[in-house]
């Protein structure tokens, strides 16, 4: 599931941003570059609304901002690593450095839940998180993610 969603253009080891909002904006911009986000403004508003309801900051330095939206026709996802520690209002109250964003159509629940479960399971592995944080290039990050998900 993860391998189907990611490509080297949808991962970065140098995610720009200094706070939760700018990190989310950078992730959405990555997704918009695919041409698959029909309404970036709608996607942005709905992502922000989702975050105000409940933070998508998980534990262990991971945040997974996600939403179901009419702004996309198919599920899309990206992964970014920040060189900075970002306060993402995480469950464990620790800063985040690994970010995964996914957007799905409102009427497609299965792939969305499966992707979130797969990525959550993958990122529970402390060794994998260390590898992700050590990746020097986008291609290296992509290879780590896809090999781990295989």
Check: CATH 3.40.930.10 for 2-149?
yes
Q: Percentage of residues in the chain with pLDDT exceeding 90?
A: 77
> Tell me: the pLDDT tens digits for 55-65?
889 999 999 99
Stated pTM of the model? 0.94
> Tell me: the pLDDT tens digits for 132-149?
999 999 999 999 998 887
Per-residue pLDDT 10s for the chain (150 aa) are 566 778 899 999 999 999 999 999 999 999 999 999 999 999 999 999 999 998 889 999 999 999 999 999 999 999 999 999 999 999 899 999 999 999 999 987 777 788 888 888 899 999 999 999 999 999 999 999 988 877
DSSP calls for the chain: -HHHH--GGGEESS---SSHHHHHHHHHHHHHTTT-BS-HHHHHHHHHHHHHHS--B-STTEE--EEE-TTBSS-EEEEEEEEEEE----TTS--EEEEEEEEE-TT-HHHHHHHHHHHHHHHT-HHHHHHHHH--SHHHHHHHHHHHH-
The domain segmentation of the chain, as residue ranges, is 2-149
């Amino acid at each position: 599931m993860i391998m189907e969603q990611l490509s080297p253009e949808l991962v970065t080891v140098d995610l720009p941003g200094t706070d939760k909002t700018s990190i989310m904006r950078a992730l959405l911009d990555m997704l918009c570059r695919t041409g698959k986000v029909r309404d970036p403004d709608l996607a942005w508003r709905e992502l922000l609304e989702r975050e105000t309801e409940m933070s998508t900051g998980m534990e262990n330095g991971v945040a997974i901002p996600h939403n179901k939206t009419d702004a996309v026709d198919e599920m899309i996802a990206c992964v970014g690593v920040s060189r900075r520690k970002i306060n993402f209002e995480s469950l464990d109250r620790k800063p985040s450095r690994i970010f995964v964003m996914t957007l799905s159509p409102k009427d497609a629940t299965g792939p969305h839940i499966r992707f979130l479960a797969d990525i959550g399971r993958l990122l529970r592995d402390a060794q994998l998180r260390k590898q992700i944080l050590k990746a020097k290039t986008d291609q290296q990050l992509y290879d780590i993610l896809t090999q781990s998900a295989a």
